[in-house]
């Protein structure tokens, strides 16, 4: 498993091929979203919804050993692309690493400008939710 920083660099490199073209970037984002497996209907329930997103976003987390596994879905294509990036960065990482991470790839790609304030706030809400899960797992692991 690559480190969070390494995965972030990979993402930045991929997006840099699009030369900052907004339309191409959004299409690429949606393509990434399409590759993210859909959550089963049963998981698309209110308790898995991320609060603070304009679109609907569902996030689930489970522990595999000392790693955190994330799955996610959204009802809009662009947001699904965004959450797929978070899954890529954080899923399979140790809770401590997730908690310590300060993501920079959004800024480095310029995605925060492209997606606007509301979606940026939504992105922040998703990140926060993932960190909550990480904290919960950390506490759980410490308790065992």
115 near other proteins, judged by CB under 8 A: yes
3-class DSSP assignment, residue 19: coil
46 near other proteins, judged by CB under 8 A: no
Question: Active-site residue 53, yes or no?
Answer: yes
The phi-psi region of residue 52 (left if phi > 0; otherwise alpha if psi is between -120 and 50; otherwise beta) is left
59 near other proteins, judged by CB under 8 A: no
Q: Which of residues 15, 58, 114, 133 is near other proteins by CB under 8 A?
A: 114
45 near other proteins, judged by CB under 8 A: no
> CB 54 → other proteins: shortest distance, Å?
7
121 near other proteins, judged by CB under 8 A: no
3-class DSSP assignment, residue 101: coil
Tell me phi and psi for residue 117, to 5 degrees. Answer: -60, -45
Q: Which of residues 60, 76, 120, 121 is near other proteins by CB under 8 A?
A: 76
22 near other proteins, judged by CB under 8 A: yes
Of the candidates 114, 111, 72, 119, the residue with the CA atom closest to the CA atom of residue 91? 72
Q: H or E stretch including 81?
A: helix 77-90
> CB 34 → other proteins: shortest distance, Å?
9
116 near other proteins, judged by CB under 8 A: yes
Q: Which of residues 30, 63, 69, 125 is near other proteins by CB under 8 A?
A: 30
Q: Which residues of 101-136 are buried (b: 16+ CB within 10 A; e: fewer)?
A: bebebbebbebbebbeeebbebbebbbebbbebbee
Which residues of this protein are in contact with other proteins, per CB under 8 A? Answer: 22-23, 26-27, 30, 54-55, 75-79, 114-116, 119
Q: Any idea which residues carry the catalytic annotation? A: 53
């Amino acid at each position: 498993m690559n480190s969070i920083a390494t995965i972030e660099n990979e993402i930045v490199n991929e997006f840099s091929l699009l030369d900052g073209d907004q339309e191409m970037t959004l299409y690429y984002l949606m393509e990434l979203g399409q590759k993210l497996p859909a959550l089963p209907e049963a998981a698309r329930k209110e308790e898995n919804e991320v609060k603070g997103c304009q679109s609907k976003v569902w996030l689930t987390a489970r522990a595999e050993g000392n790693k955190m596994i994330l799955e996610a879905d959204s009802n809009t294509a662009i947001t699904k692309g965004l959450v797929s990036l978070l899954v890529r960065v954080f899923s399979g990482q140790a809770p401590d690493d997730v908690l310590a991470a300060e993501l920079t790839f959004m800024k480095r790609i310029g995605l925060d400008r492209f997606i606007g304030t509301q979606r940026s706030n939504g992105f922040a809400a998703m990140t926060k939710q993932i960190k909550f899960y990480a904290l919960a797992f950390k506490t759980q692991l410490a308790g065992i």
